[in-house]
Structure 1
């Protein structure tokens, strides 16, 4: 009599659960643009979502704690002259985010820790180099200020955001539209998919394709995702991949191992409504006290709903086996070091005591964008050194506005306190 052998894994019982209703973000006009990006980006401080906007492109940035109904007049990040197609938070500075647009530009933004009084309209820098729409962004995992963009011109450009310079341009590797680009763990290689149905592994600094046309997959999984593209999110700490079908209502997740059959189905989280997009929280933004190993942010038509993945454990102690040291916010290399050929693994941090985001850090552009010499298209201007006084003036005006508003709030509260104290005195006098 044969006995079925059950595979041993601490992640076999991972289960997904939607956050409570008051932990969702309501009344957000999620973008209806037909594009294959995730439309959502999240880090331990902020949630960013591409939204509908008249007369250009915009996205909204909310502090993670600002759950519930979002005011219809909540400030947006605006500046693109056409729809925003992709957004990505800098892994080394939680206040910096990049946006890519149908207007062929990339903009890099500094998000303040306080809630701004009006729309954020001035990027730190505008990067111009693509000739068609830019639909893919990805920051380098270990090198400071290194950002990758890919556009409808079938070109991949790697930028030094700190100077505005083009570090590398890969313009002869893809004969058709690029569908996705992903760095490896230390940023030495890229994996790309293309409309020509070819997966390529690229060494960007050598400008060479080092592998493609893989003969046989190590594993084959058939999935019913006829509604749209798959948005994959891989967690190297747990070796779990989460597959979210855009337009689907399910999140399927699998564990990857070194031994055959390599890919092991774990479970499926299903809900009633399909997802318009999905965000994935970095490991340092999770609640380790609740054995949370992943948190996804599911976009509906008018809201964003956190989905929490948990390993059931009874102990209240820190679970070392669930939380190995994980990439922190410090870069391991400077941009010029990476370009010269150096590689470095991510700088790891422990989550034993939880993660406290660092204080607000500014990204400074150290010299003029060399692309500013190109004639601007339409009325759009690129950020340059000559814009600095205007930017400083704008920042000063915003700060003065914040101070005035806070002073008015304090005065109003003082008046209310005085009125309440007077009422209390009258009540006390009446009972004597």
Structure 2
């Protein structure tokens, strides 16, 4: 008799479990737009969900701790004139999120740590460059302020949101609609899928496709899922791929190894209701004391439900093998350094003592050459005192005044935050 050899892996027994009912987020009007993005983005501070909104597009941002029923008048992030199609948190600033819309624009928002009293309507920056709807956003993994957008115009734009400039435009790579875009771990290459059924690996700084003929797959996995879109999430720390079917009710997960057969099925988490979207928590936002290796935020029609993936361990000590050092919130490069050809791996942090998100950090946008802007050439006309060009000295004075006003507003926001925290402390002390 031959004995079957069982593959050794610490992730063979990973199991998924939905959070308790009081840990869900209830009464959220999740967007009904038929688009293939995840409709949800999460980081160690906030949960953001694209929602139904009249007269334009909107998304809601909730502090992670604000579970339970969400008030119908809870402030939204509004500003787009058409539905929001994708949102993505900046990996290097937990208070900054980008949104993409059918109105052809990308907006970058600063989210305060305190709950605003009214809708957030003014983005830090509006990026205009696409000629059709924008449905894909992806921040660079290692470079500060570098954001990728892709639209229905089959164009990929890479922006420096610190200046509002387009760094690179990839406008002749795709003959049809781009379905998805993803950076590699150090941001030197892109992988894209397209309606022409071709997967491309692109060097964006050279503007070249470096691979798109993969011939035979190294592994083929039959999926008993519907025709809905599969949302893939990859955890490089554990080499696990999670596949969430949009419109499906399952999360299937596989371990990737260097030896054949390369892809190893682990398990399937199933629930009764289908998911309309899915958020995936960065590793630094997980609870290491509970051996949590992944956390999803599953969107239903009217709520968002956390789903926790855990490796069963009896010891309550820190599990070094489950938690290697993982990417932290500090960028490894500036945008100009990356554009010039430099590459750097993510700056890693240890999760041994858990992760505490840093305090509110403001994204500063500096438009370049603002004093060198010249009026367009045209026929001369007489100028009155009101429309005469400003002198450089006057412009510099105005800029200094604007800077002083901005600093004053920031100081007031910090004071308001401190007072709100003090009030919360007093309220908690009386309970």
With the shorter chain as reference, the TM-score category is 0.7 to 0.9
Report deviation, 1:226: 1.8
- Measure the CA separation in 1 of the matches of 2:366 and 2:243: 40
Out of 416-425 and 312-321, give the one that drifted further.
416-425
Deviations 1:165-210 (A, max 9, x none): 0000000000000000000000000000000000000000000000
- Measure the CA separation in 1 of the matches of 2:157 and 2:336: 16
The answer (yes or no) to whether the contact 1:126–1:383 under 8 Å persists in 2 is: no
Out of 376-385 and 44-53, give the one that drifted further.
376-385
- Measure the CA separation in 2 of the matches of 1:415 and 1:366: 22
Query: Structure 1 pair 215/71, CA: closer, same or farther in 2 (3 Å)?
Result: same
Query: Structure 1 pair 272/372, CA: closer, same or farther in 2 (3 Å)?
Result: farther
Deviations 1:26-84 (A, max 9, x none): 00000000000000000000000000000000000000000000000000000000000
Report deviation, 1:385: 23
Query: Structure 1 pair 338/25, CA: closer, same or farther in 2 (3 Å)?
Result: same
Query: Structure 1 pair 275/418, CA: closer, same or farther in 2 (3 Å)?
Result: closer
- Measure the CA separation in 2 of the matches of 1:324 and 1:175: 41
Deviations 1:254-279 (A, max 9, x none): 00000000000000000000000000
Report deviation, 1:426: 29
The answer (yes or no) to whether the contact 2:179–2:194 under 8 Å persists in 1 is: yes
Deviations 1:216-239 (A, max 9, x none): 111000102224100000000000
Question: Tell me, what secondary structure is at the counterpart of 2:390?
Answer: helix
Query: Structure 1 pair 137/178, CA: closer, same or farther in 2 (3 Å)?
Result: same
Which residue in 1 is equivalent to 2:84? 84
- Measure the CA separation in 1 of the matches of 2:329 and 2:67: 25
Question: Tell me, what secondary structure is at the counterpart of 1:41?
Answer: strand
The answer (yes or no) to whether the contact 2:234–2:241 under 8 Å persists in 1 is: yes
The answer (yes or no) to whether the contact 1:367–1:385 under 8 Å persists in 2 is: no
Report deviation, 1:378: 24
Report deviation, 1:213: 2.1
The answer (yes or no) to whether the contact 2:114–2:417 under 8 Å persists in 1 is: no
The answer (yes or no) to whether the contact 1:124–1:383 under 8 Å persists in 2 is: no
1:45 aligns with 2:53: no
Report deviation, 1:112: 0.1
Query: Structure 1 pair 131/354, CA: closer, same or farther in 2 (3 Å)?
Result: same
Deviations 1:311-340 (A, max 9, x none): 000001000000000000000000000000
The answer (yes or no) to whether the contact 1:97–1:108 under 8 Å persists in 2 is: yes
- Measure the CA separation in 2 of the matches of 1:144 and 1:197: 32
Query: Please, what TM-score do these two structures have when normalized by structure 2?
Result: 0.87
The runs of 5 or more residues in structure 2 that have no matched partner are none
Query: Structure 1 pair 124/384, CA: closer, same or farther in 2 (3 Å)?
Result: farther
- Measure the CA separation in 2 of the matches of 1:134 and 1:385: 42
Query: Structure 1 pair 258/306, CA: closer, same or farther in 2 (3 Å)?
Result: same
Deviations 1:10-36 (A, max 9, x none): 000000000000000000000000000
Query: Please, what TM-score do these two structures have when normalized by structure 1?
Result: 0.87
- Measure the CA separation in 2 of the matches of 1:234 and 1:145: 23
Question: Tell me, what secondary structure is at the counterpart of 2:389?
Answer: helix
For residues 81-230 of structure 1, what are the structure 2 equivalents within 5 Å? 81-230=81-230
Runs of 4+ displaced beyond 6 Å = 369-391, 393-432
Out of 404-413 and 204-213, give the one that drifted further.
404-413
The answer (yes or no) to whether the contact 1:164–1:365 under 8 Å persists in 2 is: yes
1:59 aligns with 2:56: no
Query: Structure 1 pair 192/360, CA: closer, same or farther in 2 (3 Å)?
Result: same
Query: Structure 1 pair 304/387, CA: closer, same or farther in 2 (3 Å)?
Result: farther
The answer (yes or no) to whether the contact 2:88–2:99 under 8 Å persists in 1 is: yes
The answer (yes or no) to whether the contact 1:129–1:371 under 8 Å persists in 2 is: no
Query: Structure 1 pair 232/351, CA: closer, same or farther in 2 (3 Å)?
Result: same
Question: Tell me, what secondary structure is at the counterpart of 1:172?
Answer: coil
Out of 58-67 and 225-234, give the one that drifted further.
225-234
The answer (yes or no) to whether the contact 1:368–1:384 under 8 Å persists in 2 is: no
> What RMSD in Å do the two structures reach over aligned CA positions?
8.1
Deviations 1:134-174 (A, max 9, x none): 00000000000000000000000000000000000000000
The answer (yes or no) to whether the contact 1:296–1:308 under 8 Å persists in 2 is: yes
Query: Structure 1 pair 303/2, CA: closer, same or farther in 2 (3 Å)?
Result: same
Which residue in 2 is equivalent to 1:233? 233
- Measure the CA separation in 2 of the matches of 1:427 and 1:49: 31
- Measure the CA separation in 1 of the matches of 2:428 and 2:187: 73
- Measure the CA separation in 2 of the matches of 1:105 and 1:430: 46
The answer (yes or no) to whether the contact 1:227–1:248 under 8 Å persists in 2 is: no
The answer (yes or no) to whether the contact 2:187–2:343 under 8 Å persists in 1 is: yes
Report deviation, 1:367: 1.5
The answer (yes or no) to whether the contact 1:45–1:64 under 8 Å persists in 2 is: yes
- Measure the CA separation in 1 of the matches of 2:48 and 2:382: 23
The answer (yes or no) to whether the contact 1:165–1:370 under 8 Å persists in 2 is: no
Query: Structure 1 pair 119/381, CA: closer, same or farther in 2 (3 Å)?
Result: farther
